[in-house]
């Protein structure tokens, strides 16, 4: 009896370890640990035990994080079916499954099914906790986001405003989750062509936060980040730049008082996003400074192999490339590429993006032999993952042809351009960048004379 209890506790600890790996972005370790815990719990406790269902939900979430959505959906569906059979309708395990499954269905753009899941979850959380609880507010906010996806704007807006009022009363105006509620409402206002109202909402929120905190609260950055990004996404660049500049000032005040190794990962993400806004608004110098801070903090807080650290390497490399610092950009792009191969595998979209970045920076430095070898591998993996006629695949064929052209191997370049352009004529309209670039290249090398191949 005691041995069984001890084994149950050990499996529960293993499940928690999987969640910890997941939170740190160590997805392979998270999946392996969750599967070990789940297999053990099924043998010891059975398929219907609450702990087994909890671990299955965790594993489904880890699969979703890896973009293995069909596997995750099948696991969520099986787990929910079992939970509905053996648990109460407002059991917290059931409610977690409903919420997480609903978010996956939203990601898959299955909005009707997602709405049904999240309506059940919201009713259950309110029945269990009442409205004035973080889980209830989060669930109703998730529901409103799906309603917005369905263009049910009026009902979504009512829920967003109600959730914002509840969060402000529960957590205060300076809390990041309150800022998140402001962002969701602002996004709806922007989507319904009420940009001035959205700007006013964001400015008023930031002014209130500054008045309460003196302007040096790090939570401000976590609000400024999404506000600025939304303004940029909807073409309101002046407002985006204004918010980003306020963020730079907040960063300076914060940096004087806080060590980078004490920063929360969410704050690092916010800083990274703000740097992207500044870069888009043309403030390259400020963007580079923030990216460097984020990289230093990520190395200290998350470690060199965390997905967010690798993203920061890639982002900083992009800024450096813009100002011609190609050697450092190459080192960072190589770190991002090699790290993503290890974490995600060679066929993941982020790994493929890093391959393309590395090809570009090698080409800038005239390291043509290595660039060509990597570009060939890039075309091969894109053909396998995206298909041979995908515009992204054809673009990589275009860059490969350009590299051969720069090597003086004009026949090889011409053959690549011709093959890619033939495919482009069937999948790209004439004004598409891939079509135009390949067409111009074919014209440029059609009469090959002096060539090195």
Say which residues have a Cβ less than 8 Å from residue 140's Cβ, sequence separation at least 6.
Answer: 122, 126, 159, 162, 163
The number of distinct structural domains making up the chain is 1
Residue 398 lies in a domain: yes
Q: What is the pTM of this model?
A: 0.67
Residue 419 lies in a domain: yes
Domain range for 388 is 380-452
Say which residues have a Cβ less than 8 Å from residue 190's Cβ, sequence separation at least 6.
Answer: 198, 230, 233, 234, 236
| SS3 assignment, position 409 | coil
Q: Any idea what DSSP says for residue 262?
A: G
Residue 111 lies in a domain: no
- pLDDT tens-place values along the chain, 453 residues long: 445 558 899 999 999 999 999 988 888 899 999 999 999 999 999 999 999 999 999 999 999 999 899 999 999 999 999 999 999 888 999 999 999 999 999 999 999 999 999 999 999 999 999 999 999 999 999 999 999 999 999 999 999 999 999 999 999 988 889 989 999 999 999 999 998 999 899 888 888 877 777 656 666 666 777 788 888 888 888 888 888 777 767 666 655 555 555 567 777 887 888 888 888 888 888 889 989 988 998 998 889 999 999 999 999 999 999 999 999 999 999 999 999 999 999 999 999 999 999 999 999 999 999 999 999 999 999 999 999 999 999 999 999 999 999 999 999 999 999 999 999 999 999 999 999 999 999 999 887 776 777
Residue 37 lies in a domain: no
What CATH number corresponds to the domain at position 441? 1.25.40
Residue 402 lies in a domain: yes
Continuous segment of H or E residues that includes residue 192: none
Q: What is the dihedral of CA 249, 250, 252, 253, to 10 degrees?
A: 120
* Cβ pair 438, 417 in contact under 8 A: yes
Residue 437 CA to chain centroid, in angstroms? 30
DSSP symbols for 226-243 = HHHHHHHHTT-HHHHHHH
Say which residues have a Cβ less than 8 Å from residue 327's Cβ, sequence separation at least 6.
Answer: 365
Cα separations (Å) of 180 from 128, 267, 384, 425? 24, 13, 39, 44
């Amino acid at each position: 009896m005691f041995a069984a209890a001890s084994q149950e506790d050990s499996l529960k600890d293993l499940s928690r370890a999987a969640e910890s790996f997941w939170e740190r972005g160590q997805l392979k370790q998270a999946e392996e640990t969750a599967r070990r815990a789940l297999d053990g719990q099924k043998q010891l406790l059975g398929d219907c035990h609450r702990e087994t269902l909890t671990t299955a939900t965790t594993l489904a979430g880890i699969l979703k994080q890896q973009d293995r959505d069909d596997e995750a959906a099948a696991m969520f569906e099986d787990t929910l079916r079992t939970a509905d059979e053996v648990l109460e309708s407002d059991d917290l395990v059931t409610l977690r499954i409903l919420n997480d499954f609903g978010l996956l269905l939203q990601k898959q753009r299955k909005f009707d099914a997602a709405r049904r899941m999240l309506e059940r979850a919201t009713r259950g959380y309110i029945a269990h906790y009442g409205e004035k609880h973080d889980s209830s507010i989060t669930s109703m906010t998730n529901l409103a986001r799906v309603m917005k996806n369905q263009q049910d704007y009026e009902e979504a807006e009512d829920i967003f405003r109600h959730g914002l009022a509840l969060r402000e009363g529960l957590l205060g105006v300076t809390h990041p989750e309150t800022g998140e509620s402001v962002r969701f409402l602002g996004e709806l206002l922007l989507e319904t062509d009420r940009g001035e109202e959205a700007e006013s909402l964001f400015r008023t929120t930031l002014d209130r936060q500054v008045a309460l905190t003196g302007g040096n609260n790090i939570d401000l950055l976590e609000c400024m980040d999404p506000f600025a990004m939304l303004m940029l996404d909807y073409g309101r660049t002046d407002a985006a730049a204004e918010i980003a500049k306020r963020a730079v000032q907040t960063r300076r005040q914060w940096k004087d008082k806080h060590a980078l190794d004490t920063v929360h990962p969410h704050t690092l993400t916010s800083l990274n996003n703000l740097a992207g806004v500044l870069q888009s608004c043309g403030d390259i110098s400020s963007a580079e400074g923030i990216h460097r801070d984020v990289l230093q903090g990520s190395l200290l807080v998350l470690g060199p192999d965390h997905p967010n650290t690798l993203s920061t390497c890639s982002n900083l490399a992009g800024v450096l490339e813009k100002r011609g610092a190609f050697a450092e950009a190459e080192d960072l792009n190589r770190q991002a590429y090699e790290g993503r191969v290890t974490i995600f595998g060679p066929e993941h979209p982020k790994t493929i993006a890093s391959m393309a970045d590395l090809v570009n920076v090698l080409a800038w430095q005239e390291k043509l032999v290595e660039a060509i070898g990597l570009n060939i591998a890039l075309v091969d993996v894109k053909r396998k993952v995206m298909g041979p006629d995908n515009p992204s695949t054809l673009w990589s064929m275009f860059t490969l042809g350009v590299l051969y052209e720069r090597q003086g191997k004009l026949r090889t370049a011409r053959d690549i351009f011709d093959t890619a352009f033939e495919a482009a004529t069937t999948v790209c309209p004439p004004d598409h960048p891939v079509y135009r670039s390949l067409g111009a290249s074919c014209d440029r090398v059609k009469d090959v004379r002096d060539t090195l191949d």
